[in-house]
């Protein structure tokens, strides 16, 4: 069924269900991680990123819906979650999807149907992940949500910015609520901004970019008071204002002649600035200087 042994995180408080499903999944070629509670699932997902999660909806203490919401706010946010539930009422199905689930199966579980749905959602996740890796490589601070503000995915750069502003491990419910209220109250135009706050403290802002799917909306995350790129370089390296400007344009792929035209300098002056920049950055050539600058500017 699979070329690689994809990892399925199985979350259920029933020993019988765990035994039955583990055997079926392992026979189908998957590696299975077992969690008997929502807290255990979150702990596992902090250390190992599963390819897909099978989640029991009804569990004591923390139910599957809350567990899913927390998973979607953590490092395993990209893993599709399929709910398993004996609750077939529409409100419970809607609750499962609003919590971040992509699908649901009613108990007792039909193994052939389970295999088919896993196959479909893993294929979709691989396709989405390929696109996301391309975005991550550009160093962009991007965040995607559903129409209710639930976080679908975010680039590592956006995650770091949000964590720095809100605090590492913070519950991102405030972000979900504010985006959901915004999308529910109006259809934002491309480029529209929303300041995100928590407990009356403004943290960062998001800019609406576009709707990228039937129920997926894309945003750019930026600091409330963004620092210019050349100032960012000066904060990291002992550069003068002019040196930071030269380094910035080097990182953007400009030639010495281009930089001279942009900054009103002679090519010889640009070369002299570069010699000093190499010494201050501890590098030997412009390519290495550009890489160091890109790392600071984009977290690459």
DSSP letters, the chain, are --SS--EEEEE-S-HHHHHHHHHHHHHTT-EEEEESSHHHHHHHHHHS--SEEEEES--SSS-HHHHHHHHHTSTTTTS-EEEEES--SHHHHHHHHHTT-SEEEESSPPHHHHHHHHHHHHHHHHHHHHHHHHHHHTT--EEEE-TT--EEEE-HHHHHHHHHHH-TT--THHHHHHHHHHHHH--PPTT-EEEEEETTEEEEEEEEEEEEETTEEEEEEEESSPPPHHHHHHHHS---HHHHHHHHHHHTT--HHHHHHHHT--HHHHHHHHHHHHHHHT-SSHHHHHHHHHHHHH--
**Whether 155 and 95 share a structural domain:** no
Judgement on whether residues 25 and 58 belong to the same structural domain of the protein: yes
Do 62 and 129 have their domain in common?
yes
**Domain membership flag for residue 13:** yes
Asked whether residue 217 falls in the same domain as residue 271, the answer is no
Asked if residue 2 belongs to a domain, the reply is no
- Last-in-domain residue among 133, 162, 193: 133
pLDDT at 155: 81
Q: Which of 163, 191, 223 is the last residue of a domain?
A: 223
Which CATH number characterizes residue 278's domain?
1.10.10.10
> How many domains, the chain?
3
Residue 158: pLDDT above 90? Answer: no
- Report pLDDT digits (tens) over 11-52: 999 999 999 999 999 998 898 999 999 999 998 988 888 889
Residue 1 inside a domain? The answer is no
For residue range 90-136, what is the model confidence (pLDDT) as tens digits? 677 787 888 888 888 888 889 999 999 998 888 877 666 655 544 44
**244 lies in which domain range?**
229-298
Q: In this structure, are 120 and 28 located in the same domain?
A: yes
pLDDT at 239 over 50: yes
| Whether 207 and 100 share a structural domain | no
> Based on the domain organization, do 150 and 119 belong to the same domain?
no
């Amino acid at each position: 069924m699979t070329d690689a042994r994809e990892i399925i995180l199985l979350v259920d408080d029933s020993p019988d269900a765990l035994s039955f499903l583990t055997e079926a999944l392992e026979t189908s070629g998957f590696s299975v991680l077992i969690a008997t509670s929502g807290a255990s699932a979150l702990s596992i997902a902090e250390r190992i990123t599963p390819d897909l999660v099978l989640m029991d909806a009804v569990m004591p203490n923390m139910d599957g819906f809350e567990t899913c919401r927390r998973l979607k706010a953590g490092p395993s946010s990209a893993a599709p979650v399929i709910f398993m539930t004996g609750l077939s009422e529409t409100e419970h199905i809607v609750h499962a999807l609003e919590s971040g689930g992509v699908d649901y199966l009613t108990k007792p579980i039909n193994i052939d149907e389970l295999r088919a749905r896993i196959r479909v959602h893993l294929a979709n996740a691989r396709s989405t992940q390929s696109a996301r890796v391309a975005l991550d490589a550009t160093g962009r601070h991007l965040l995607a949500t559903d129409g209710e503000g639930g976080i679908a995915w975010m680039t590592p750069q956006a995650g770091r910015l949000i964590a720095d502003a809100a605090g590492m491990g913070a519950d991102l419910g405030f972000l979900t609520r504010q985006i959901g209220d915004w999308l529910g109250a109006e259809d934002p135009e491309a480029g529209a901004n929303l300041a995100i706050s928590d407990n009356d403290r403004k943290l960062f802002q998001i800019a609406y970019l576009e709707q990228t799917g039937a129920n997926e909306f894309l945003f750019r995350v930026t600091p409330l008071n963004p620092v210019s790129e050349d100032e960012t370089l000066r904060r990291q390296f002992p550069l003068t204002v002019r040196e930071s400007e030269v380094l910035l344009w080097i990182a953007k792929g400009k030639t010495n002649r281009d930089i001279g035209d942009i900054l009103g300098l002679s090519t010889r002056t640009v070369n002299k600035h570069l010699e000093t920049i190499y010494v201050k950055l501890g590098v030997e050539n412009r390519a290495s200087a550009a890489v160091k600058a890109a790392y600071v500017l984009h977290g690459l």
